Structure 1
């Protein structure tokens, strides 16, 4: 199931604990424990599953099902229909929100089958509602260069910090929470002799969803910016605080917040004259898109992004009709020239 936050007040309310049949409630509790403990999902993600599956369990209870082995494919299909149409005063869900809820249902039934609670999977053949899949917004290489050039104008601690922050976001494809969550010890092979002696250059250790760590290489532009920040800027910023292992610091010497990092990016985008909306995820999308356009294997990009499934990464391989025509014209031996 994609880690997408639910839209509050737009979803059907789950059946409260204690009002579900005991067997359903126990099966749901066991699955949520599996998600949190064995799969290591965050509390926010487990809560999203609880809302989606609590609503589904309530639907089953109203249909007279007291155990998962009584559920039929028709029950699952009816639930999807209710979500799309809305009921009991609750607004209908969008196709994407319904698909997310169905993904939770499928996961629960797969778990139940694997645990021997059911003989089959009634959700396996139920299709999610179709919806147009949007391509992630990515900047061009030239626009990224303009943005990064505008990030740190000057030689003081804050311009050096801001430039290294945005360079690192684009160089690693890290989420904003991962990059502001970095400690100094998470950076290797960047400063001094280590920056030239380390094979392939420096690296950072990012901690992603479910506390999963991954080591990502740092490009030469980001290494240069990061070394300048560490050598000439972090010390003065740290002197105003009580001491913290955080890599990126604010003016009080504490860890830079996500909101402040957003402000840094927005300021750079304005100075660069970029008219389109730019967010930290825009740099992440640009990182993936530019790597794939340069010939990187999708599974390598998957590892760099920290995606659990290559399916999530494959959205970046989608191309526009114009690109298809250009590639066809350039590559097909019988294309019109």
Structure 2
């Protein structure tokens, strides 16, 4: 439940003039969106309720009051993220009030929301990952299309195929290559869809990313426009070669050839959303009960590599993390895996059933 929904059922007191002046400033001078103004209004209404309960004027609130209000929200079951957003709204109001000379200091400064526990990244088990990678569509027995054969034309036909209505070796080869590459190299979905077939005509116009088949490497453009090179496994290279053999098949091709490695049914670069949809459908067809999306395969790549090598620094470099602190979350995931193995295998660890 978002903070608008959470606060909708709460009393909505009349706001004092100073709060209305601040909202007018946010609307006119800061030109905030209507949705943002609505949330700011809800935040100020909640602050007024707290102030009235504490029998303190709005502009007379001090740091201890704000801390107590935050603690009350926490004990009432509001999430750490929700509290942080409300505190941010209050902080903006008091910053404005301080600039107007209405308060000597901002009582929200220094007050932080409770620390939210970092959720563990969701990763597939090794067996599930291999089940997804080894999946072959039942219609694949028909083999690739004959030389010179055209794939189905028309958006309606392609749309039906992409939704799983019919088997199409073109779609199958593309989706298999995407899944293999995501798991093999730990790419972000933006890095995957940014790949081009070739690096570019010259070094001045490099593609966002490309595959060097000779070296078995992927050149990608990651966050912060930072380039990195990651290895590509042999299975992924084979899947990519199979996809490239079909990619050029003519079907409603645009006048200007699309440089993207992965293209959709109309010949344009595949979107990140389309990759999510296709990967989820492929996981369903492969019989996996876990929800699979591109970042799950990135997490699986990192987790399985760390379990096998124990080299956290190498995993950091391969993922393109600026800080190793970001990568360290996989050590928690790895320990969880080890703890489960201990629980299942050690005779003194097994709980009574």
Which TM class, normalised by the smaller chain length? 0.5 to 0.7
Q: How does 1:178-257 map to 2 (within 5 A)?
A: 178-184=191-197, 185-191=207-213, 195-196=214-215, 201-208=216-223, 212-221=225-234, 222-230=236-244, 232-236=245-249, 240-242=253-255, 243-257=257-271
Alignment of 1:1-337 (within 5 A): 7=2, 9-10=4-5, 19=20, 21=22, 73-74=63-64, 76-78=66-68, 80-81=70-71, 83-84=73-74, 93=78, 95-98=79-82, 101=85, 124=110, 126=112, 128=114, 133-150=118-135, 153=140, 155=144, 156-184=169-197, 185-191=207-213, 195-196=214-215, 201-208=216-223, 212-221=225-234, 222-230=236-244, 232-236=245-249, 240-242=253-255, 243-307=257-321, 309-319=323-333, 323-324=338-339
Q: TM-score, normalised by structure 2?
A: 0.59
SS at match of 1:166: helix
The size of the alignment, in residue pairs, is 284
- List runs of 5+ in structure 1 lacking aligned partners: 1-5, 33-45, 87-91, 109-117
RMSD of equivalent CA atoms:
5.0
- SS of corresponding position for 2:248: helix
Q: Distance in 2 between matches of 1:99 and 1:289?
A: 32
Q: 1:55 to 1:187 in 2, by over 3 A?
A: same
Q: 1:298·1:314 contact (CA, 8 Å) conserved in 2?
A: yes
Length-normalised TM-score, structure 1: 0.61
Which of these two proteins has the greater Rg computed from alpha carbons? 2
CA separation of 1:139 and 1:186: change in aligned 2, threshold 3 A: same
Structure 2 CA distance for partners of 1:81 and 1:296, relative to 1, 3 Å: same
Unaligned runs of 5+ in 2: 9-14, 52-56, 93-103, 145-168, 198-206
- Residue 129 of structure 1 deviates from its aligned partner by 5.3
Deviation, 1:128, is 0.8
Is residue 228–residue 320 contact of structure 2 (8 Å, CA) maintained in 1?
A: no
Q: Does the 8 Å contact 1:99/1:129 carry over to 2?
A: no
Measured after TM superposition, the shift of residue 169 of structure 1 is 1.5
- Does the 8 A contact of 1:190 with 1:226 survive in 2? no
Shift of 1:165: 0.8
Return the offset for 1:253: 0.6
